[in-house]
Amino acid sequence: MPGFESSTAADQRFTVNLSILFTELPLLERPAAAATAGFTAVELWWPWVDSPAPERSELDALKTAIEDAGVQLTGLNFYAGRLPGPDRGALSIPGEESERFRANIDVAADFARSLGCTALNALYGNRVDGVDPAEQDALALRNLVLAARAADRIGAVLLIEALNRPESPLYPLVSAPAAVGIVDKVNQATGLGNARFLMDLYHLSMNGEDLPAVIERYADRAGHVQIADNPGRGAPGTGTLPLEDLLDQLRKAGYEGPVGLEYKPGDRPSAEAFDWLPR
| pLDDT tens readout for residues 226-255 | 999 999 999 999 999 999 999 999 999 999
**What radius of gyration do the chain's Cα atoms show?**
18
- Over residues 170-181, the mean pLDDT reads 98
Residue-range domains of the chain with CATH: 7-272 (3.20.20.150)
pLDDT at 28 over 90: yes
Q: Compute the average pLDDT of residues 116-135.
A: 98
Rounded mean pLDDT, 171-193: 98
Angle of CA points 222, 120, 136, to nearest 5°: 90
Mean per-residue pLDDT over the chain, rounded: 95
Distance CA 43, CA 47 (A): 11
CB 18 within 8 A of CB 43: yes
DSSP H or E run through 76 = strand 72-77
Cis? peptide before 84, omega within 30° of 0: yes
Round to whole Å and give the CA distance between 148 and 14: 25
5 pLDDT above the threshold of 80: no
Instruction: State yes or no: pLDDT of 203 exceeds 70.
Output: yes
Residues 120 and 117: their CA atoms lie apart, in Å, by: 8
The confidence score (pLDDT) of residue 255 equals 97
| Average of per-residue pLDDT across 170-175 | 98
Q: What's the whole-number mean pLDDT along residues 80-106?
A: 96
pLDDT at position 10 is 43
Angle between helices 176-190 and 133-153 (to 10 degrees): 60
Q: Which residue, among 262, 276, 247, has the nearest Cα to 75 in the 3D structure? A: 262
Q: What percent of the chain has pLDDT over 90?
A: 94
Q: Is the pLDDT confidence value at 83 over 50?
A: yes
Does the pLDDT of residue 150 top 80, yes or no?
yes
Asked, as a colleague might, if the bond just before 269 is cis with ω within 30 of 0, I would say no
Tell me the pLDDT band of 44, cut-offs 50, 70 and 90. Answer: very high
Per-residue pLDDT band at 278 (split at 50, 70, 90): confident
Residue 1 banded pLDDT, cuts 50, 70, 90: low
57 alpha carbon, distance to own chain's centre: 25
Local structure of 227: helix, strand or coil: strand
Under the banding of pLDDT at 50, 70 and 90, the label for residue 84 is confident
What is the C-alpha separation between 242 and 223, in angstroms, rounded? 21
Residue 3's pLDDT band (boundaries 50, 70, 90)?
low
Q: Is pLDDT at 43 greater than 90 in this prediction?
A: yes
Q: Which helix (H) or strand (E) holds 216?
A: helix 211-218
Tell me the catalytic residues: 161, 262
